[in-house]
């Protein structure tokens, strides 16, 4: 456990554990309260009705904050690595950060505007969160390959790319099937015409959501050593400037 707390590693570690808990706790409370079917509800379905709506809103809001903190820290780590040994244009890193932060704003919208109360706003926030999140992981995977092998191992790059590819493959049918559903509801009957669209979309939604979680899990090692790299770079800069 202590290995996850070295350097800045506690930031992605807390993001992963908190977000996982948010999804699981909201799901369990919603199912036990009889508000959703245990078989493949949408993530948002588990945060629509009280009391789980309060839990979902609070925890996802904090997840959005932790996501933004993780992305900004990652941005600064890559920035310093790139200054030490150039491997990519800084604009690439900046675009990745902006898209990631927009995705976090989308998470906040999802948390604060319930699915049944304001569906258009809620769905817009979800679209921002998922699409920007997937693009963020793709860009970060490219950055990882560009900085390999000095700052990342090849195996880490492969894992990140695999997660990004799965998330990208899942987000397309998720959006397509969700757009074909004619009504927003919590209870589904397998005999209903839109049921298959719901099932496919829900499977893809959970896949993308936990894809994000596993992706941020790969940041833990980078954050363990990133702070020491940053300190070392600062000390080196000070030493060079102080030389006669």
Q: Which helix (H) or strand (E) covers residue 144, if one does?
A: helix 119-146
Tens digit of each residue's pLDDT (9 = 90 or more) over 224-238: 875 555 555 555 455
Question: Mean pLDDT across the chain, nearest whole number?
Answer: 88
Question: Residue 1's pLDDT band (boundaries 50, 70, 90)?
Answer: very low
Tens digit of each residue's pLDDT (9 = 90 or more) over 114-158: 888 898 999 999 999 999 999 999 999 999 999 988 888 899 999
DSSP string over 39-60 = SS--TGGGGSSTTHHHHHHHHH
Tens digit of each residue's pLDDT (9 = 90 or more) over 90-111: 899 999 999 999 999 999 999 9
* 191 secondary structure, DSSP code: T
Predicted confidence at residue 87, as pLDDT, reads: 83
Q: Is the pTM of this model over 0.85?
A: yes
Residues 7, 11: Cα–Cα separation, whole Å: 9
Predicted confidence at residue 236, as pLDDT, reads: 47
Tens digit of each residue's pLDDT (9 = 90 or more) over 50-89: 999 999 999 999 999 999 999 999 999 999 888 888 888 8
pLDDT for 19 beyond 60: yes
Tens digit of each residue's pLDDT (9 = 90 or more) over 177-236: 999 998 888 888 888 888 999 999 999 999 999 999 999 999 988 888 755 555 555 554
pLDDT for 14 beyond 60: yes
């Amino acid at each position: 456990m202590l290995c996850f707390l070295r350097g800045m590693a506690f930031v992605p570690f807390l993001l992963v554990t908190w977000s996982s808990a948010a999804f699981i706790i909201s799901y369990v409370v919603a199912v036990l309260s009889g508000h959703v079917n245990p078989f493949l509800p949408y993530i948002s379905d588990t945060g629509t009705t009280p009391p789980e709506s309060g839990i979902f809103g609070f925890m996802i809001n904090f997840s959005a904050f932790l996501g933004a903190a993780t992305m900004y820290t990652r941005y600064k780590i890559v920035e310093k690595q790139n200054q030490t040994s150039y491997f990519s244009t800084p604009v690439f890193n900046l675009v990745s950060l902006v898209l990631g932060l927009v995705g976090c704003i989308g998470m906040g919208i999802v948390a604060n505007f319930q699915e049944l109360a304001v569906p258009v706003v809620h769905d817009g926030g979800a679209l921002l969160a998922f699409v920007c999140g997937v693009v963020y992981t793709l860009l970060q995977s490219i950055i990882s390959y560009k900085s390999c092998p000095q700052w990342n191992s090849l195996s880490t790059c492969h894992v990140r790319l695999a997660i990004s590819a799965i998330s990208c493959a899942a987000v397309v049918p998720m959006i397509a099937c969700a757009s074909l559903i004619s009504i927003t509801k919590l209870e589904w009957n397998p005999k209903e015409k839109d049921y298959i669209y719901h099932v496919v979309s829900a499977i893809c939604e959970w896949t993308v959501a936990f894809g994000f979680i596993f992706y941020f899990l790969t940041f833990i090692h980078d954050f363990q050593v990133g702070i020491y790299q940053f300190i070392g770079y600062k000390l080196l800069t000070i030493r060079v400037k102080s030389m006669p």
